[in-house]
Amino acid sequence: MAFFFNYQETTSEKAGLPPGTAVYVGEERTGPIKVTLTDYDRDNYTSLAELDEDNLKHLATTSSCTWLNIDGIHDVELIKKVGDIFNLHSLTVEDILNTRQRAKVEIYDNYIYFVARLPEFDEENKQVTLEQVSFILTDHVLLTFQEKESNAFNEVRKRIATGKGRIRKMCVDYLTYALLDSVVDNFFVVLENMGEELEELEEELLENPQPSTLHRIHLMKREMILLRKAVWPLREMIGTIQRDEVTFLGQEISFYLRDLYDHTVQVMETVETFRDIISGMLDIYLSSVSHRTNEVMKVLTIFAAIFIPLTFIAGLYGMNFNTAKSPFNMPELNWAYGYPFALGLMATVTIGMVIFFKRNKWF
């Protein structure tokens, strides 16, 4: 339930504050902030691990492509300084710091602002976390802000460093696309893990359904609700930038964006399919559990039913009518074969009932 708790606690702290106030809203963190400044064009490539203001201003004026990535946004002053350098609207700075945004795109005069949620699957707890990534795209500078250090963009970094593929031949618009593509690919990775989990659950469901199975199904269901909440606006956002001719995004990457959009739709459909499957699993669980209970109850009830008349017969011949000397008072007790007769009666009743139950297909 941690997600919901954080969610409310933090955004409510802002109630009443003037809009555009830069307040960090998110899990409390104190770790170091990692800054990576990458500058590249077709031929050159430099990478710095610190934020040198002058350097940055200089790069902003050259024609090379510059990518500034900041992992960790709890240092409000730093983010404000970056906002000042790149002339960002106060609402944008507020949005970067508020880590509970839904995916959206906002177009300003001098830059475009994207937000997306990057999913990661925690193998240990079998849980999905969703970190926020903000993108500021200007003419040839891309700023990205992540909540904490993650490996999601390492492959892209390697491609820039090695110059493989198209990435160095095009500028930051293609880089933006490549990073969004990594985000969408991460959804596929998460869904793959969930798919494996689903498979395991399904086997458990068929072989030995436990209350814990139900619990895991419910956790899966809730995670699907969260994933869905993250994917729908992402699709919307990518649809918007693909459909509208957005500044700073060159014509030549429209094919890529269309492809990306298709992938998001695919993610969305898989989420919906998983939801359908999970709700089917819930039905199977409930009906199989109730089937098992019914089976146990039925067998035991039948078992009891067979003994009921036997016990009655035993009770019958336990009556004390034999004390009165009358030929009508339990003559069976005085028969030489009284006891075998009683046992035989019991056997007959038992066999009769078993046949009756079998015929009615009760077991």
Instruction: Indicate the residue type of 265.
Output: V
Q: Nearer to a copy of itself by C-beta: 32 or 255?
A: 255
Q: How is 4-49 classified by DSSP, letter by letter?
A: HHHHHHHHHTTTTSPTT----BSS---SPPEEEEEEE-SS-EEEES
- Least separation in angstroms between residue 97's CB and a copy of itself is 13
Q: Nearer to a copy of itself by C-beta: 54 or 283?
A: 283
- Least separation in angstroms between residue 142's CB and a copy of itself is 17
Q: Nearer to a copy of itself by C-beta: 97 or 178?
A: 178
Q: Nearer to a copy of itself by C-beta: 120 or 139?
A: 120
Tell me the backbone φ, ψ of residue 326, rounded to 5 degrees.
-135, 135
- Least separation in angstroms between residue 312's CB and a copy of itself is 5
Helices 76-85 and 53-61: crossing angle in degrees, nearest 10, is: 30
C-alpha 322/C-alpha 179 separation (Å) is: 98
Q: Nearer to a copy of itself by C-beta: 55 or 101?
A: 101
- Least separation in angstroms between residue 223's CB and a copy of itself is 11
C-alpha 294/C-alpha 303 separation (Å) is: 14
- Least separation in angstroms between residue 72's CB and a copy of itself is 22
Q: How is 323-339 classified by DSSP, letter by letter?
A: GS--TTS-GGGGSTTHH
C-alpha 239/C-alpha 195 separation (Å) is: 26
Q: Nearer to a copy of itself by C-beta: 56 or 171?
A: 171
| Closest by Cα among 188, 94, 173 to 140 | 173
- Least separation in angstroms between residue 87's CB and a copy of itself is 14
